[in-house]
């Protein structure tokens, strides 16, 4: 369940183009070692 939520967050925010959404989730993605750029 936690993994599913995490993947959903990654897909939603990882593919989001608005800068404020990117910045809001940026540290979380790096903490999870998910390359966002």
pTM here? 0.35
What is the per-residue pLDDT for 1?
75
The CA distance from 4 to 18, in Å, is 23
Tell me the per-residue pLDDT of 3-14, one tens digit each, with 9 for 90 and over. Answer: 777 777 776 766
CB atoms within 10 A of CB 33: 6
Cα(19)–Cα(3) distance, rounded to whole angstroms? Answer: 25
**Helices 2-14 and 19-31 sit at what angle, rounded to 10 degrees?**
140
Average pLDDT, integer, range 11-34 = 66
d(CA 17, CA 5): 20
Percentage of the chain beyond pLDDT 90 is: 0
């Amino acid at each position: 369940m936690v993994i599913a939520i995490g993947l959903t967050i990654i897909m939603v925010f990882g593919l989001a183009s608005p800068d404020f959404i990117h910045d809001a989730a940026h540290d979380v993605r790096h903490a999870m070692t998910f390359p966002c750029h």
